[in-house]
Structure 1
Amino acid sequence: MSAINGRLRRMVRRAQAEGRVPAVSAALHRADRPLWACTVGGSGNEHPLGPRTRFRIGSVTKTFTAVLVMQCRDAGLLDLDDPVARHLDVPAHGELTVRRLLSHTAGLQREPHGDVWDTLVAPDVERLLADLARAERVLPPARRYHYSNLGLALLGQLVARLHGGTWAEVLADRVLVPLGLTATGDRPDPAAATGFLVDAYSDEAHPEPPTDFGAVGPAAQLWSTASDMARWAAFLADPAALDPSGAVLAPATLDEMRWPLTVTDETSWGAGFGLGLILVPQGERVIHVGHDGAMPGFLAAVYGRRGGPGTAGAMGCAVLGSSGTGVRVLELTHELLAASAEHDPADIEPWRPGEPAPAHLRGMLGRWWGEGFEYVFSWHDGTLRARGADDPAGKPSAVFAPLPERPDVFRTVSGREAGELLRLTRDEQGRVIRLHWATYRFTRTQETFDGYDFRR
């Protein structure tokens, strides 16, 4: 254990030095290991830098607002395809939907009206909404990804209206307290790190002015520690491990949020965007899910890891830095997650015999052919499954759930053809002789579409 911890510490120290970041705080959360944390540098003020030092996390805030929106959806307070005007009194752009705003595909301009980044004065709620009439729709809805702080700010105010409080109050009550994120909030404490602009051609670090994002707070206002954010990243990747009762959000809802709705760059496809979450593919069916953040003097990267060999349960990492130009912070989170999975892989659980398949399904297990390709139907962990005979080892199987009111009919609940039906056809002796999956015929031997078995 000391060897991997030493490796991770050295990675943080190298990134802090190479990136010339006055303060870096990193943390790694895993279900199977104690929390790992590391700080390098100084806070920039009279308070010592340590794991409890708070940093501005910028747009990582958006992931919290997105979870609040999905809570409202699950509670029946809104539908993702509702126009925003159904829940918020706005003078313009009220036809934009909740889903489009969450996924940055609404086409709304990036910032609120005015020169916010010149004045560093953000609008209050009344001004934010009134100035919507002066905001542009810079692209048609659903045309492509276009990042918008204004869009997430509107959703934060929508959530506040639905719950009858401020965005910060609703967030604390419905997310921060239930998940034990006690160091996260919309205001810094006196010991928070100072944010800097590091000069490009000298070693001078100039303090950035403090900013309050006002009504745009749901897009970028929060402060936190790396330890809190590593826990949050683990929740985004593996909610059942940190919230087994689904009190904050059901795991199926996080699955929905992680599904990519658009790419952030149509040429490279290097990252996707779901419902409030950035999705960064790592190869070999590994995905990092979370968000980056930037505010004057601060950068943050908060991601959880899913899939791939060595990946532990509830695996999340956060790296927070006190330089607005220290982009090594953004790379380091992904590097720490990969290094932990490679050099300290999760333990391999031994296989143990399980319950047999139900008697009425045993005869249909094994190999079937559909569309000229071979598939294997099997029974594992109490569920009927299917996968292509030539699928790579890491590709998930399709999983089926029975429909109690329809014998021999199953719903595909995940994997290939999710949502589609699987129907079993039996002969007079009760043997399964044919399957129909998503209406395609599956047979025990390879057949043409008109049913000719050319191997006879």
Structure 2
Amino acid sequence: MSAALGRYERAARKAQADGRIPALSVALHRADREPWVFTIGDSGRPEHPLSPDSRFRIGSVTKTFTSVLVMQARDEGLLDLDRPISAYLDVPAHGDATIRRLLSHTAGFQREPDGDVWDTLVPPDADGLLAQLDRAERVLPNARQFHYSNLGLAVLGQLVARLHGTTWEQLLADRILHPLGLDATTADAPAQAAVGYLVDEYSDAARPEPQMPFGGVAPAAQLWSTATDMARWAAFLVSPELADPGGKVLAAATVDEMRWPLTTREETVWASGFGLGLLLAPQARRAVHVGHDGAMPGFLAGVYGRRGDGAPDGLGCAVLGSSGTAGQINELVHELLRLTVEADPADIKPWKPAAPAPREYRSALGVWWSEGSPFVFSWHDGALQARLPEAPADRPPAVFRALPGRPDVLRTVSGREAGELLRLTRDDTGAIVRMHWATYRFTRVQEAFDGGPAWDGPEDGSGR
């Protein structure tokens, strides 16, 4: 066993022991290594001993799948994120809630459907969920703040199912699970499902928890899966261009859109946020963990991928456990992602010479000045780039692409001022002598806003 794998296993063993987790299944997925899978404990089913194929309930990780179905429908022109749900569903109340707000948990919907479903263990069916929406509260004004809602994501799941004229379960299988080969992920509990437990706080007793189907609320929390499948899913959420190179499930640009934070979860501690259905957990050194936690009676799950900070391409991790109270399950997924970068970082790719910048952009290279500060323009990876000289090395540069048929007008496609235009001005020889980026003037020497150089001021330095 390599030193890195030994550290992963020790972390998992410690979490299982400290958390008193009856069964724990852990997987790491990355594009440049074989998957690592580890299990420890007892499935609770003698006929199906614990193995990498054991299935665990993943709870609210299900929401990430529903969110991808919503974004598929958006990309196909079936819905608009900023239109109200009443444009697509006949609902008795709260039809003004927009799809974007529901995806980001900022629509103010109460947490659960009407009724004490966690007492009765009888959730409404799909029709009942929508028909009873007038019994649910808007506990906060629309767009006021983050408020987590199973009800909101369940409504979205039923919405996309009806747009396609099928059930949420069938749509999920057809549009995500089968195309990505997530064959161990199912709506119903298979024979190899582990038993979920409530572990007694004051003894080592463990009581099996009931496992009810979630009915119309299924799009929020229904699924069962393996750690291997879920680590692959986490890798898709951070590196869709590798997990789904043809974009048959979702375009990489749309997954990027889902990862952009739309709200923080707390006002005073900005430790995590939400995008379009995805939970975002910032880490040290310009990294972020993207995914979701899950909880259902007797089960907890953590499914996240890592971006930034030298993370290997397609790095995803899943930790699934058969205890409903062991917070170590949700902590371990983040620990393993950090350990991976520390103990087995991405391979360093050797630098190789490449073709020079195209002739028409060579006079753009070097130092330019704007607002009194220098910027360095360079050509790397087939694109014009810009960055502040003092910017941290791990901060991505601004990257530009020329507009079709307009080589002197470029769009900022990523980094600082993303979306803004860079306009080039040339002299009679074709050399670039001035640039305007986001309308700010860039020149080869430091200038004031009136165009005068710093040295062309009063001799006494008075500024008058």
TM-score (norm 1): 0.99
For the pair 1:234 / 2:242, whether they are aligned, the reply is no
Q: Secondary structure at the match of 1:34?
A: coil
Q: Secondary structure at the match of 1:304?
A: strand
Q: Which residue is 1:215 aligned to?
A: 216
The amino acid that maps onto 2:286 is R
> C-alpha displacement at 1:447, in angstroms?
1.1
> C-alpha displacement at 1:109, in angstroms?
0.7
CA distance in 2, matches of 1:10, 1:429: 66
Q: 1:54-453 maps to which residues of 2 (within 5 A)? A: 54-309=55-310, 311-453=311-453
The amino acid that maps onto 2:37 is A
> Which consecutive unaligned segments of at least 5 residues does structure 2 have?
457-464
> C-alpha displacement at 1:176, in angstroms?
0.2
CA distance in 2, matches of 1:70, 1:21: 36
Q: Secondary structure at the match of 1:363?
A: helix
Q: Secondary structure at the match of 1:253?
A: helix
CA distance in 1, matches of 2:42, 2:353: 54
> C-alpha displacement at 1:427, in angstroms?
1.9
**Post-superposition, which runs of at least 4 consecutive aligned residues in structure 1 deviate over 6 A?**
none
CA distance in 2, matches of 1:230, 1:267: 31
Q: Is the deviation greater in 381-390 or in 404-413? A: 404-413
The amino acid that maps onto 2:38 is C
Q: Which residue is 2:459 aligned to?
A: none
CA distance in 2, matches of 1:118, 1:106: 26
> C-alpha displacement at 1:350, in angstroms?
0.5
CA distance in 2, matches of 1:199, 1:209: 16
RMSD: 0.9
What is the aligned length? 455
The amino acid that maps onto 1:445 is V
Q: Which residue is 1:3 aligned to?
A: 3
Q: Which residue is 2:462 aligned to?
A: none
CA distance in 2, matches of 1:385, 1:151: 41
Q: Is the deviation greater in 147-156 or in 438-447? A: 438-447
Deviation per CA, 1:101-124, whole angstroms, max 9, x where unpaired? 000010111100111111010101
> C-alpha displacement at 1:164, in angstroms?
1.1
Q: Is the deviation greater in 397-406 or in 339-348? A: 397-406
CA distance in 1, matches of 2:386, 2:138: 45
Deviation per CA, 1:115-155, whole angstroms, max 9, x where unpaired? 11110101011111111011111111111100000000000
CA distance in 1, matches of 2:213, 2:407: 60
CA distance in 1, matches of 2:364, 2:237: 37
Deviation per CA, 1:73-113, whole angstroms, max 9, x where unpaired? 11111111111111111111111101000000101111001
Q: Which residue is 2:16 aligned to?
A: 16
CA distance in 1, matches of 2:370, 2:18: 55
Q: Is the deviation greater in 282-291 or in 428-437? A: 428-437
TM-score (norm 2): 0.97
> C-alpha displacement at 1:455, in angstroms?
3.4
Deviation per CA, 1:277-313, whole angstroms, max 9, x where unpaired? 000011111110000000010000000011112x111
CA distance in 2, matches of 1:119, 1:109: 18
CA distance in 1, matches of 2:76, 2:107: 24
CA distance in 2, matches of 1:388, 1:142: 35
CA distance in 1, matches of 2:426, 2:412: 20
The amino acid that maps onto 2:246 is S
> C-alpha displacement at 1:45, in angstroms?
2.2
Q: Which residue is 1:25 aligned to?
A: 25
Deviation per CA, 1:57-77, whole angstroms, max 9, x where unpaired? 000000000000000011111
Q: Secondary structure at the match of 2:248?
A: coil
Q: Which residue is 1:49 aligned to?
A: 50
> C-alpha displacement at 1:429, in angstroms?
2.5
Deviation per CA, 1:397-449, whole angstroms, max 9, x where unpaired? 11111012434111111111111110011122222111111001111111111
Q: Secondary structure at the match of 1:33?
A: coil
The amino acid that maps onto 1:71 is Q
Q: Secondary structure at the match of 2:255?
A: helix
The amino acid that maps onto 1:314 is G
> Which consecutive unaligned segments of at least 5 residues does structure 1 have?
none
Q: Is the deviation greater in 236-245 or in 396-405? A: 396-405
Q: Secondary structure at the match of 1:289?
A: strand
CA distance in 2, matches of 1:241, 1:165: 29
CA distance in 2, matches of 1:455, 1:336: 56
